[in-house]
Structure 1
Amino acid sequence: MRIISEAGLYTTPGESGRHWAEHLSVPDLSIGTYSVPAGGVDGQSPHTEDEVYVVTAGRATIVTPGGSAPVGPGSVIYVPAGEEHRFADITEDLAVLVVFGPAEYSRA
């Protein structure tokens, strides 16, 4: 067992304008926190693994080719491997717990 106390906490981004902190990586999954400040730009690319996002702080819109939806604390979003997606219209500092299955980059 491992308690990951820092997971889901907003971290002030550096020069890139966003921050990624990986908390755990094992062969079948990885977990991290993705932070983007209010007004920031989410420049991520599609991943080769399935993802589950849990919004822990902030408000934004998740945008995919299939549509868009407002998200806020407590929102849970599933994004299948290879699907383009990004957070837009970030109105409050956004912190998102991200779970990759299998672990991020394991299928790259």
Structure 2
Amino acid sequence: MQKLSGAGVFHKAEPNHFAEHLRTESLSVGTYSLLAGAVDDQAPHHEDEIYVVTTGRATFVTPSGSEQVGPGDVLFVPAEEEHRFVDITEDLALLVFFAPPYSGR
């Protein structure tokens, strides 16, 4: 067992901040933080991804549509799909799961 202290907690170091908390052969877990009003400039990932909104509010946009998101919402993004958070009205913290582990760009 491993406890991930601080996972999903907002981090205000910069407008967009990603911190990885765990990496195994099959998945990785991190926290993605975006300040209210920030621009989410991420590119599509090579991995499937699940976001769990822990704090904040925004609109999540993909080619298939957009959704208002807030605490408790869970989002699935398949590998290579364009996606981003826009209209971030409250500091946003997301627990992020990647499978396989996040490789970066």
TM-score of the two chains, using structure 2 as the length reference? 0.97
Partner of 2:54: 56
What are the residue-to-residue correspondences of 1:8-47 with 2, within 5 Å?
Answer: 8-14=8-14, 17-47=15-45
Give yes or no for contact 1:28–1:103 (8 Å, CA) kept in 2. yes
Query: Which blocks of at least 5 consecutive residues in structure 2 are unaligned?
Result: none
**Which aligned segments of 4 or more residues in structure 1 are displaced greater than 6 angstroms?**
none
State the distance in 2 between where 1:100 and 1:56 align. 17
State the distance in 2 between where 1:36 and 1:13 align. 10
**Which residue of 57, 64, 88 maps to 2:86?**
88
Deviation at 1:41, TM superposition (A): 0.7
TM-score of the two chains, using structure 1 as the length reference? 0.94
Number of residues paired by the alignment?
105
**Aligned AA for 2:43?**
S
Partner of 1:79: 77
Q: 1:13 to 1:41 in 2, by over 3 A?
A: farther
Deviation at 1:27, TM superposition (A): 1.1
**Aligned AA for 1:20?**
F
Deviation at 1:13, TM superposition (A): 3.1
Task: Give RMSD over aligned pairs.
Answer: 1.2
Percent identity at matched positions?
A: 59
